[in-house]
Every structure is written in structure tokens, then in C-alpha cells.
Amino acid sequence: MKTIVITGCSTGFGFQAAQVFANRGDQVFATMRNVDGKNSEPAAKLREASPNITVVELDVLSDASVEAASAVILEKGGAPDVVINNAGQMYVGLAEAFTADELTRQLDINVVGIHRVNRGLLPAMRKAGQGLIINVSSIAGRFGAPFFSVYHASKWAVEGYSLGMRRELATSGVDVVVVEPGPFSTELFGQSPSPKDDEGRADSYPEVVAQTFEGMGKAFEGMFMDPEVPTDPIDVVNTFVALVDGEAGTRPFRSVVGVDLGVRARNDADEAHDAPFLEAMGLTDFAKLKTD
């Protein structure tokens, strides 16, 4: 039995992952915000699904909330074996139309939120000398496309943050990996905030921009309705399971799931440069996870 902490369990990957891990006998701390309010229904469903699931209030945007949740988790479960940083949101629209505050919130949710959770749980994991952190990134963290600039910024940041932290924690025995889902039929798309754009900046762009934006939305809808396209969230959950069950020191840093848009090839090319880079910097001690 492993102790597994998962953020963003009210919907999507997190909701399914909590049940899959619990059903196989793991102790799961399923975290989400608004447990007694907006998310009371999914919280109740998870509690009913398995006695191995403990629902914990955690808002990744709040230092105090994460600290309180971490205290509960550490008291009841001890140092986690696995932390899955799944909570996130996808802002969609023209980059210029987003205010600085809107951009900051996107980064706070997707990047700083992960950092808050890691800070809350890493001391215990390092003391235990083992563990796995899975940060949910995206194929959007490996390329750039119009209308996703703000989201790209957050997921590229997750990639760099995770790779650097993987090196920093190698000598402590704590592994860090990322999972890069393609488009999946979860609530992420249906709940994507757009810029308020009170100044009407988007209206000053060429007409083809608005037409293309509308066309992309329809293309995603068609993708989710096509049974031949791999968009079932369980594929991502199965990737979590495979990483958790993987032998320490052998797990890949990046795992692409679903439609990849060429990202797998890019990852393969980058991986070939990682080891020579660390060697050139004299950082070979940070290249391999300590497993004893």
C-alpha cells in the first residue's frame, strides 16, 4: 500500500485517479477546494467510493490552505509515497487581451500552486529518503499555438521547474516527473476562462483571427466526439499508475499521453542533450536518482 496525495480531485484526471488508486488498496488523500460548498457532491462521491479515500480541503492558490492540508495529510498518513500535482486551469484567448492580473492568476494556479504543495510535503518526503512527485504538465508545455499563449507560459514553466527540481532532489531519493496529456475530454476545456478584454483589444485584430479561434473550438469538439481519437481520461490515469509502479531510478522524466502533435519526437531529441549538459556543467551527482 502506498500513500498517495492528489490535487484537483473534484473532476477529470484527479477524480478518476483517486478511485483507481484506492480500489487497488492505496491510501489516497484526494484534495480539492470548496469541499463543503461547490465541490461537496464530488467530495461525497469519493468518500462513498472507498474507505481508502480521505477527502481534504486544499486550495492551491492559498498558502494557509496548503499548509493546513499538508498538516492533516502528514498527521494521518505520514510522508507521502506519491504526490500528483494535478490541479490546474487553462486560460484561452489572445495574449494581449489578458490583463497582467489575469496572466498572474493563470501562473499562480498552474505553477505556484504546484510549488505550494511541494513545499508543504517535501520535507517529510526527503526525510523518508524516497518518494515520487508527478507534475501534470501538457503537450502545451512543449510548443506554441495561437490563443493558448497564457496557458503555454504556465506549462512551459512547469516543465522547467520540474526538470530543475528533479536534479535538486536526486540526491535525496525523491523522484520528479511530468505527464504531458494532449487534448482530453475533461472539464478543463469546458471551464477555460477567457480574457475579460474590457478594452476590446481582440476586436482590433484581423477578422481571420476570430474565425480561426472559432474553428479551433469546433475542431476540438469533433476530436472529443471521434471514438478513434485517444481522449479518454483513463489513459492519463493509467500513466499515473505506471509511473507509481515503475522502479525508482528508471522512470522517464516526460510521459506523453494521447494526441501528441509531434511532442514525443521533440522529447526524444531533448533527452539526448540532458546528460551531456549535466556533464559539461560538472553536475553528474545530480543526474541519477539515489535509490539506496
Active-site residue numbers?
Answer: 10, 137, 151, 155
**DSSP secondary structure, 171-184, as one string:** GGTEEEEEEEE-S-
Backbone angles phi, psi at 138, to 5 degrees: -175, 160
SS3 of 83, please?
A: strand
Distance of CA 182 to the CA centre of its chain: 12
DSSP three-state, residue 239: helix
Q: What number of residues does the chain have? A: 292
Cα gap 267→265, rounded to integer Å: 5
**Helix H or strand E segment including 84:** strand 82-85
The position carrying cell 516543465 is 159
Cell of residue 9, nine digits: 480531485
CA atoms of 76 and 1, how far apart (whole Å): 15
Q: By the 8 A CB rule, do 29 and 4 touch?
A: yes
